[in-house]
A = this chain, B = another copy of it.
Amino acid sequence: MKSIPLIVILSLFAAQSAAQWEALPDSAPSPADNPTTAEKIELGKMLFFDPRFSATGTVSCFSCHNVMEGGDDHRSVSIGVHGVAGGRNAPTVWNAAFLSSQFWDGRAATLEDQAVGPVTNPIEMGMESLDDALGRIRAIPGYKQHFDTAFGAGDNVTMENAAKAIAAYERTLITPNSPYDRYVNGDEYSMSAQAIRGMNTFESVGCSSCHSGPAFSGPAMPAGAGFFVKFPTFESNGDLEKFDLLADQGRFEATGNEADKNIWRVPTLRNLEFTAPYLHNGAVKSLDDVVTLMAQAQLNRNIDGDQVADIVAFLESLTGEFPTQIMPRLPPTPGDLLD
A contacts, CB < 8 Å to B: 49-52, 56-58, 63, 66-70, 73-76, 79, 81-84, 273-274, 276-278, 284-286, 322, 324-330, 332-339
Residue contacts A-B, CB under 8 angstroms, 20 given? A51-B66, A57-B74, A58-B73, A68-B330, A69-B330, A70-B332, A70-B333, A74-B337, A74-B338, A75-B338, A76-B338, A82-B83, A83-B83, A273-B332, A276-B333, A276-B334, A276-B335, A277-B335, A285-B336, A285-B339
Chain B residues closer than 8 Å to A337, beta-carbon distance: 74
Contact B274 A332 (CB under 8 A): yes
Q: Which residues does chain B contribute within 8 Å of A326, judged by CB atoms?
A: 324-327
- Asked if B322 and A325 make an inter-chain contact with CB atoms under 8 angstroms apart, the answer reads no
CA distance A10 to B107 in the complex (A): 67
Q: Tell me whether A329 and B68 are in contact (CB under 8 A).
A: yes
A57–B83 CB distance below 8 A: no
> Which residue of the partner chain B has the closest CB to A319?
B332
Closest to A82 in B: B83
Q: Give, as a whole number of angstroms, the nearest-CB distance from A113 to chain B.
A: 26
A66 CB to closest chain B CB (Å) equals 8
Q: Is the CB of A327 within 8 A of B74?
A: no
B284 touches A335 (CB 8 A): yes
Is the pair B57, A75 in contact by a Cβ cutoff of 8 Å? yes
A336 CA / B285 CA spacing, docked (Å): 6
Query: In the assembled complex, how far is the CB of residue A4 from the closest CB belonging to chain B, in whole angstroms?
Result: 41
Report whether B327 and A68 are in contact in the complex, using a CB–CB cutoff of 8 Å.
yes
Cβ-neighbour of A57 out of B56, B73, B325 (below 8 A) = B73
The CA-CA distance from A129 to B39 in the complex, in Å, is: 45
- A46-B69 Cα distance, complex, nearest whole Å: 11
Bound-complex Cα distance A277 to B12 (A): 66
Q: Which residue of B lies closest to A67 (CB)?
A: B327
Q: CA–CA, A328 to B325, complex, Å?
A: 8
A247 CA / B48 CA spacing, docked (Å): 37
Q: Which B residue's beta carbon lies closest to that of A49? A: B68
